[in-house]
A and B are shown apart, each in its own frame.
Chain A
Amino acid sequence: MARDSVGDARHYGSMYTMADYKSKVHNIYFNANYAATEKMRLFGTVTYNMAEAALDEVLMPDVSDKLVNPVYDLGVDLTHTNFDFEEMSTYSDFDYKMLSFQLGLSYKITPTLTFTADGKYADLTDDAGYVFGNETGSFYVIRSGFKVDF
C-alpha cells in the first residue's frame, strides 16, 4: 500500500528491542626509580590505556506488515517505511588507545646545586571518532633546570 497522502498522519505505537552496551578498559603501568650513584638518580614511567565501548547491533522486530499492539491490529502495510536501525549501534562507538612514556634524571653537581632533566611523550589513537571527530594526536614535553638548596 502506498503511503497516505501528505497530512494523513498516522501513529502505530512503538516497537522495541533489547541490546547490550559493553565497555572494556585496560590499564597497564610500570614505574622505576634507580639511584645510579650518590649524585645521580634516574626514573621512568610507562602507561598504556586501551578503552572501547559499543552497543550491540540493534535488531528491531519486523513490523512492516503489522501493528505493534495486536489490540488495534488493523493489518496496515508499512512496507514503504524503513524501520531498520543498522547504524544505531555505531552512534556511541568508542575506541581509543593511549601510550605514555616519561623519563628523567637528576644529577647533584654540588651539595646545593642539582641539574634536572625529564621528558614525556603521549600518543593517543582514536579508532572511532565518537562525538568530537577523530581525536588521534600526540604531544611531547621536555624540561630541564637547576635546583638550588639554601
Chain B
Amino acid sequence: MKKMISIFSVGLLILLLPVALVAEENGGTDKYSLWIGSHYTDFTDYTKSVGEYNLGENEWLPELGFNYMSQRDNSLYTLYGHYYDKNNVWGKINTRVGDKFTGVFQYRSLVKQQGQDLLVNAEAREWLDPNPGGKILTHEITDPDADYNTHRQEFTGKMSLLVSHKNNVRLMAAHRTILKSGTEQKIASTHCFSCHLTSKTAKVDNQTHQFETGVDATVKKFDVGYRFAYRIFENNAPDASAYWDPAKHPVHGGAAGEFTSRVVYQDATLPFDTYPKTEKTSHKMKLKGDLGKGYFAGTVNYSKAKNKFTNLATTAWTGAANYTMSINPKTRLIAKIYGARLRSDDPWIDLPTWRDGATDGNFMDFDYRRYSSQDRIEGRISAEVITRLTPQMKLAFLAGYTKIDRYDYPLLGEGTETNKLTAQAKMYYRKGLKYTAFLKYRFESISDPFVSGFGLFEAAGYQNPLLDPLVPTSNWVFYLQREALRYQSVTSQPTQVHKFEWRSTYRPSNKYYVMLGVKGKLDKNNDLDSLDVKHLSIQPHLNFNLMPDPAWVVTAGYSYNFDKSRVPLAVALFDG
C-alpha cells in the first residue's frame, strides 16, 4: 500500500507541476465553487437490490463537492471532486499545457451490496414415496445473516509529453489500479456419494495493477507508435476452505473402500474457489498514414498471460490492418484484414488410479492431457463499398469471410474448422434537417460452429456392449462409463444469423424531435439433428425531446427488449 501511495503521489506531483508553471502566467480565468451539504438515506425491507450502491444504513451524512478551473492562453487545468460517504468518493484532475503536455488523474470509490444465494433450488431426493431413498442433494447455509458487500477503489492516470517537434516524438505513460475489499459468498460442492452445497463467507482483498508506456512519432508520412503494457492481479485474502465428507455409499453408508477409489479427495478440509495470481505483458506496434491513393492503418500485438500459481500461460499474436480509398468522387472502399494466433499451455492432469489394485481387474488410469478450445488460428477479411447514390441517400455494402482453426480441441490433432461468410447492406437517408433514416440488414452463414466436446444425450447403459470390457455382464454402470455412452452434438452457436436495424428521426422544428427505431436478431443452428436451437431478440425504442420555450427541456422515452431462446433440456434416466 505504501508503494502505491508513493506512485500516486509522484503522479500527482507531475500533474501539479504544470499548474505551478501556469500560475506564473498573467491574466486568464480562475473559477472555484464549493458545495457543502448533507443527505439522509432510509431503507425499507430488502435493501441490497434497490440500494445496491449505498451503504444500506438509515443515517444522516455530510456531503461535499468542489470544482476548480484555471484557464490561460496556452493551458487549462481542472479539478473536480465529490464526497458522498466514506465509500463513495470521486475526484478528477485534468491538465493541458499547449500541445506539450496532457495529464489526467482520476480516483473512483464505490461500494456494491451483494445478496446471498439461498440455494433453495438445490434440494432433491431420488425417491420420495413410499420410503425416501436413493441419491440426494442438499444444501447448507453456514452464515444466514451474512452481509456481503465489496468496496472497489480505482486509481487511473495518463500522461503524454511532447519531447521533440521534429518528428513529433511524444512519450506516454499510464497506470490503472483497482483495489477490492469486503466479503463475498463462496459455495463448496461435495461429491456425488453425499451431494450437498455448503455456503460460506469469504474475505475479499485483491488488487489489479496495470502500467503502460510508449512512444509515438511521425516518420516521413507515417505515424508510428509502440506500447508496452504490464498487468498483475493478486489476492491477499485467505483462501476459503470446506470439509469434504468421507466417501461412502449414498444410501446405506457402506462400501467406503469402493467409493474412496472414485474420488480424488474425501474426509478432508481443503481450500476451494481460490483466486489465481496472474500476470500479463503485451507489446503493440502501430502504423498509419497515406499509402498510394488511400489511407492505411495497422497494428501488431503480442501478449502473454500467466497464472503464477499453476505456471500455465496463454500467448496471443494478433494483427489488423485497414485500408480506405476513394474509387470515385462518390464512392469509397474500406478493406480490413485481421489475423490471430492463440495458444494455451496443455497441462497434464494427474489423477489417482481408480480402484487401484482391485482384485476383479476393474481398475483404470484417468490421467490425460487437457487441450484448450482457446487454441486457434483465426483470420478475417472484409471489404465495404460506400457510395452516395443521391444527395440525400448513401448506400454501403459489405462482404466478409472468417476462418477459425481450433487445432487440438477436443483431442490432439482433431480440431475443428469454422468458416463464416458475412453479407451486409446499409442505407442512410437525410432530408434536410427534418428527417433522417438508417436501415441495416446483415446475414451470416457459419459452417461447423464450435460444439462441446461432450455429447448432450446418453445411450442406455444397461447391458450395453459399448461398456465392455469393463464389467461386461454386470447391471452396474459406473459414472466414468457414461462418457462412452454420450452422443448428440450441442452448442449455442448458430449456423445462420439474421440482423436487422432501423431508426428514424423526425425534427419538424428546433423545438422538438422524435426518434423511433427497432433492432432485431434471429439466429438458429440447423446442424443439430432434431434439436431446434434458435434465438430471437427484438428491441424497439421511442424517444422524444421537447423544448417548447427556453425555460423548458423535456425528454421522454420507452424501450422494450424481448429475447427468446429455444434450448434442449436433457436428464439421465437411472433406476437405482
Contacts and interface: CB of A to CB of B under 8 A. Distances in A.
B15 to A, nearest CB: 22
Nearest to A138: B44
Contacts of A74: 462-463
Interface stretch (B2-10, B116-124, B194-202, B407-415): B116-124
Interface residues of A, number: 77
Nearest to B542: A28
Interface in B544-574: 550-574
A124 B49 CA distance: 8
Nearest to A28: B558
A60 B40 contact: no
Contact of A30 (B43, B456, B556): B556
Contact of A145 (B51, B63, B556, B570): B63
Contact of B49 (A23, A33, A135, A146): A135
Given A22-B562, A141-B40, A32 B553 contact: yes
Nearest to B477: A11
B573 A14 contact: yes
Interface string B77-119: 0000000000000000000000000000000000000011110
Contact of A139 (B36, B50, B460, B532): B50
Contact of B556 (A31, A69, A123): A31
Interface in B33-55: 33-51, 54
A3 B50 contact: no
Nearest to A27: B559
A14 B50 contact: no
Nearest to B64: A145
Contacts of A91: 121
A147 B35 contact: yes
Interface residues of B, number: 78
Given A31-B555, A139-B51, A3 B575 contact: yes
A15 B576 contact: no
A10 B475 contact: yes
Nearest to B464: A72
A18 B463 contact: no
Given A16-B569, A137-B47, A144 B553 contact: no
A140 B560 contact: no
A118 B39 CA distance: 9
B38 A145 contact: yes
A60 B39 contact: no
B454 interface: no
Contacts of B351: none
Nearest to B462: A10
B576 A60 contact: no
A67 B79 CA distance: 73
Given A13-B573, A15-B573, A124-B49, A148 B34 contact: yes
Contact of B531 (A12, A18, A72, A138): A18
Contacts of B554: 30-33
A30 B115 CA distance: 30
Contacts of A145: 35-38, 63
A141 to B, nearest CB: 5
A71 B459 contact: yes
A46 to B, nearest CB: 9
A78 B575 contact: yes
A67 B555 contact: no
Contacts of A12: 460-462, 573-575
A33 B553 contact: yes
B295 interface: no
B166 interface: no
A86 interface: no
B562 A24 contact: yes
A44 B127 CA distance: 58
Given A36-B551, A142-B39, A9 B49 contact: no
Contact of A150 (B33, B65, B252, B477): B33
Interface in A102-131: 116, 122-124, 126, 131
Contacts of A20: 564-567
Q: Which of A10, A72, A85 counts the most B-chain CB atoms under 10 A from its CB?
A: A10
B363 interface: no
Contacts of B557: 27-29
A144 B359 CA distance: 81
A116 B568 contact: no
B222 interface: no
Contacts of B40: 141-143
B272 interface: no
A28 B559 CA distance: 7
B531 A10 contact: no
Given A27-B559, A145-B37, A147-B34, A123 B50 contact: yes
Interface string B54-72: 1000000001010000000
Interface of B: 31-51, 54, 63, 65, 115-118, 120-121, 127-128, 133, 251-252, 456-464, 475-477, 482, 485, 531-532, 550-576
Interface of A: 3-4, 6-36, 58, 60, 63, 67-69, 71-72, 74, 76, 78, 81-83, 85, 88, 91, 96, 98, 116, 122-124, 126, 131-150
29 contacts: A4-B475, A6-B133, A6-B251, A8-B576, A10-B574, A15-B573, A18-B531, A22-B562, A23-B561, A24-B561, A26-B560, A30-B556, A31-B553, A34-B551, A72-B463, A81-B575, A124-B46, A131-B118, A133-B120, A137-B45, A137-B49, A139-B44, A139-B54, A140-B42, A141-B39, A141-B42, A141-B54, A147-B34, A147-B35
